[in-house]
Amino acid sequence: MTIDLSFFKKHGYQILKGIFPKEIIEPIASFLAQEKDKTLSKIKDFIDFQEPKDLIARIQRIADDDQAFQSLEPQQRNMLSGHFSLEARLSPILHAIPQSAAILDLCAQLLPGQEPRMHMPPTARFVLPGNYFAGVPAHQDVSYNKHIQDFFVVWVPFCAIDDDCGGVMVHHGSGYLPEQIQSPAKKFWLQPVPDYGYEKIHCKMDIGDALLLNKWVVHQSMPNFSDRIRYSSDFRFFGSATTSEKHYLDIAKGEVVAPALA
Ligand SMILES: O=C(O)CCC(=O)C(=O)O
């Protein structure tokens, strides 16, 4: 498999059509569907709610109350903003993506001569209908990943991404925009980068597709207006010529490597 990456090299992003077979996607999709209930039950340990829509109203109240927000632990904030629990994100089931033929090809092309690595854990998200707080405002991934010098991101949906169910919107033309300074947000995410008027492209995708992003291209989440849960995962890849201060997966060996002690 050799994927033509010429669009990515020019624009800093590319939709890669049909790169993952269903044998790779389906087990992860089923795993995430089960884990969603476990993550919601972990949320019930610190927020009392019955239905997911009641949870959204509770998240809104927490977001409006500085004290309540500050009292949450980072893991708890992550779950409220649509991230699966850390336990789910650490599952080796997700490693089928970095070990797929498509990712090995991307690494061979984009990290030539280097051992491919993946930041651990990958992000895995479930966006409940109407969970506005799961939406990442416009950003460059370089601002959220200070611990890795150089990397690319592969965003993988586990449901079809259409007009209604959210996904990612890319600011076409920003692929080589220098890093913008983003002041820390009070709630969940960094403040959005300024809107420089780039064309906004909502990346509609089918199951089996992926969105490749470089570290500079500006992109943001689209809200989930549908009545379905939007499932996705995003993976950060880098090579052995780059340092990382956090855990990573050595893709060839299938081993998780801890950061060297300072
Ligand atoms: O999944 C999303 O909603 C946004 C993902 C994203 O922005 C990222 O991977 O950097």
H/E/C letters for each residue in 23-57?
Answer: HHHHHHHHHHHHHHHHHHHHHHCCCCCCCHHHHHH
136 lines ligand 1 (CB under 6 A): yes
Task: Report yes or no: 94 and 124 within 8 Å, Cβ to Cβ.
Answer: yes
Average pLDDT, the chain: 94
Question: Which stretch of 53-67, 86-100, 230-244 has the lowest confidence by average pLDDT?
Answer: 53-67
Q: Where are the beta strands (DSSP E) in the chain?
A: 13-16, 116-119, 123-127, 152-157, 167-172, 199-202, 210-213, 219-222, 230-239, 248-250, 255-257
Give the residue, out of 133, 136, 139, with the most ligand 1 atoms within 8 A of its beta carbon, to mutate for a pocket test: 136
Residue 243 is predicted with a pLDDT of: 85
The arithmetic mean of pLDDT across residues 196-201, rounded, is 98
SS3 (DSSP) at 15:
strand
The confidence band for 186, taking pLDDT boundaries of 50, 70 and 90, is low
Give the residue, out of 145, 234, 236, 237, with the most ligand 1 atoms within 8 A of its beta carbon, to mutate for a pocket test: 234
The arithmetic mean of pLDDT across residues 200-228, rounded, is 97
Residue 139's H or E segment, with its range, is none
219 lines ligand 1 (CB under 6 A): yes
Task: Report the predicted TM-score, pTM, of the whole model to 2 decimal places.
Answer: 0.96
- Among protein residues, the one whose CA lies closest to atom 4 of ligand 1: 221
Residue 57 is predicted with a pLDDT of: 92
Question: Which stretch of 44-53, 92-101, 151-160 has the lowest confidence by average pLDDT?
Answer: 44-53
215 lines ligand 1 (CB under 6 A): no
Distance 145 CA to ligand 1 centre (A): 13
The confidence band for 197, taking pLDDT boundaries of 50, 70 and 90, is very high
Residue 183 is predicted with a pLDDT of: 72
- Asked whether residue 184 carries a pLDDT value surpassing 80, the answer given is no
